[in-house]
Amino acid sequence: MLSTDTDILSAAEAWRGEGRAVALATVIETWGSAPRPVGSHLVIDGGGNFLGSVSGGCVEGAVIVEAAEVIEDGRPRVLEFGVADETAWRAGLSCGGRIRVFVERID
């Protein structure tokens, strides 16, 4: 069962309160078939712990890697994932859709 948005945002707040470095990833746009709707969240801490979901599978792993960089340098990023011939077997969406994810450090 996926955590609710309230659980995810509460975890982000609690983790920050514990002094952890935290990034928040949010689905900001979808096209076609997408596994998670706009507004879905994934919170990641500096130790690689995470809660929530923005897609699943390889996309989730790629977002976690990018979130570590966002935590490190403080620069937010917009990531786009979808199926393209050259990327179909990397971090793509097997469902045929595309998603855009905004990743930001929470200070």
Which contacts qualify for 7-16: CB closer than 8 Å, 24 or more apart?
A: 7/51, 7/52, 8/41, 8/42, 8/43, 8/51, 8/52, 9/41, 9/43, 11/43, 11/51, 12/43, 12/106, 15/43, 15/45, 15/49, 16/106, 16/107
**Can you give the residue range of the structural domain that contains 50?**
5-106
Q: What is the pLDDT of residue 100?
A: 94
Q: What is the pLDDT of residue 95?
A: 57
Q: What is the pLDDT of residue 88?
A: 43
Q: What is the pLDDT of residue 85?
A: 43
Number of domains within the chain: 1
pTM: 0.86
Show the low-confidence residues of the chain (pLDDT under 70): 1-2, 83-96
* Among the listed residues 103, 77, 93, the one whose alpha carbon sits nearest the alpha carbon of residue 33: 93
Q: What is the pLDDT of residue 25?
A: 97
